[in-house]
A and B are shown apart, each in its own frame.
Chain A
Amino acid sequence: MSEPNTLVAHLFRHEAGRMVSVLAAMLGFDRIELAEDIVQDAMVQALRSWPFQGIPENPSAWLYRVAKNKALDVVRREKLFRQISGDWASERQEEDMMEQFFFEDEINDSQLRMLFACCHPSLPFESQVAMCLKILCGLSIREIANAFLTSEETITKRIYRAKEKIRAKEIRLEVPTGLQLPIRVNAVLKSIYLLFNEGYTSSHPDTLIRQDLCEEAMRLTLLLTQTPRTTTPSAHALLALMCFQVARFEARTDATGAIVLLKDQDRTQWNQALIAQGKRQLAASAGGSELSEYHLEAAIALQHCLAPTYEKTNWQVILSYYDLLLNRKPGPIVALNRAVALAEVDGPMEALLAVLQIKELETNQYYHAILGDLYAQLHQTDRARQHYHRALHLTSSGAEKQLLRKKIDPLL
């Protein structure tokens, strides 16, 4: 009996995503459910044998072998039918073909093809994210529903409709080429960016779930950046941005789950390894002439990571990045964030004037929270209180409510 070895965290989840992609590439997207069933079967087999026979030396290879054999069975059975219609293929050929699909390069390629299909611009964003999480990341319907605080039925419907659309629109499992490629890569990056934000800024009470979403978004981006055909400066920039944000994830809440503001965060808790990785990615993103919004957002996040204290943050530089960002991606949320930097550089009055120019955020809790902050700094306590109350009314997050009450209290 060998020593008990333990499994890598999320091994099954990640391998399930990889295997479904490989099998779908082999069997065709039309039969994605069959691919999913085969993978589920392989995991059942692992559950039945590993506890008693010990975890195999190479668990991933074991799972792949079982899935491959099951797929081969299916193909052979079908061949039997084809033979009747006179279409003969040698057994050897099929096995060779199957072997090919399971080469490391092909595994990555299958995942990329699946990623481009799942993030096809003709699918609504919610469906894109659900598809990525279900098929590529191996999360169950229950886990996805839980992460988005919605019902399993809703997620099932989203995935069903997306699969139908992929079939109906004949969206092919392929990595786009030529002029199509950069456009499609940008669409994929956008989906991953939104998936990451769901994890990073959502009000979900369970931080583990949120970290999972961020981690999966990073994995998908890594897949793009590690493949010469699909890597772009923007992809590196997005990965850099995610590294810098996740580096500060732990420090954003205290032991009780309450929000810790950037100003009060224990900066020694920031993950320096991730910050270093982010810097490497940012350096890699400098190739070419492209300057995307991810570059600018990463640059802003880096400034925060570099500052030894809140007071020593280089707000001037951050403000200049926000100016560029607002230019590229005009919108109320960017303008609101810029105003926070502006308050640090030019004072609360300038920032207040800027925020009051912003339209469309009447129902956004952060808009009101920031207005509350600015009015409080200008000693207009009545107005500050009004906006804090409005924010309190708009947020559904317990931690945010708690923070707002803490701000209202001294104003009474």
Chain B
Amino acid sequence: MRALTWHGKHDVRVDTVPDPQIVNPRDAIIEITATAICGSDLHLYDAVIPGLMPGDILGHEFMGRVVETGPKSTLKKGDRVVVPFTISCGACFFCQQQQFSACDNSNPVEKQEASELLYGHAMSGLFGYSHMTGGYPGGQAEYVRVPFSDVGPIVIPEGPSDEEVLFLSDILPTGWMAAENADIQPGDNVAVWGCGPVGLFAIQSALLMGAGQVIAIDHYPHRLDLARKLGAKVIDFKQTHVLEALMEMSGGIGPDAVIDAVGMESHGFSPDALMDALKQKVGIGADNVHALRMALMAVRKGGRVSIPGVYGGLADKFPIGALMEKGLQIRTGQTHVQRYSKELLHRILEGEIDTTFLISHRLSLEDAPTGYRNFHGKQDEWTKVVLKPGMAQGS
């Protein structure tokens, strides 16, 4: 089959690789009809997330048709499914608590060592991501092997287009959980850093949850415009003092809740240095925590801090004093996608949530490297790229 593979910093290629097979009884094989490039794929593209290997197939936002099932899969051939990016067994203590991204049983045993060293515990397996989360081949391909296919995939009724439901795989539930983690109360002032897809979905979710005012912070005019269209007020940090503006726009109190939908950005650490440091059990370099630092300073006393943005390492100059003295609460984590699938599918089918507004480009799978280059380099216009293996190259 054809698949988008990672070969190093800013080097992704479409290669011919062996087709996946049913390996375990609960597996299914999905033929991909649509897959997207995610902001966290850009962290891989920039090589700031450790534990990728040349030849790894990327992609963790995907959907398609079931073409083969293992004996314990509950899916049927021909089912149309969206697949959560988190791989979860459904049976362990964490899955039972609906903390699906903390699943104990989906990250292969031998891949857990690095995470235990770096984080104390290993998280669930993820598609198309670091080998610290299993190194599972991803869905920017013609086919993908889906483990625990009786737990993750959501069967989609005929009717809605792929583009209307594709983002149930990651960014929609991620934006939703970001708002839920901010514990939004009716009338709240909410500030969101980053108007990428997750930030935009967090804005939409916060408003649905009853926020009185959502203030979006970014510097790309087009992205700020999308936020404005969703009903947010916007701050362009290139022209405005953010902290001062947030105080003025919240009656001198500060936002009740803040959401960091930026994450570690591109000034991270190189993977080779990181892996070496990891082996030596010493410091592993510093994530860029600028947005989070601002959020902690801006949020009102006793306020809530939600972090959907991705971080991988350690933070320098983290304002621990502001966190403690102001009595803040922090909630974060990789998304427990399966927890939200049903409810969010329902809201899409009911027309309460539109997910298609942020798609800027549709490309064939063969053109995926172009998609990466532009999603990375032209962030203002390229807000979201959907890849379609069935589409002709160059169209």
Whether both chains belong to one complex is answered with: no
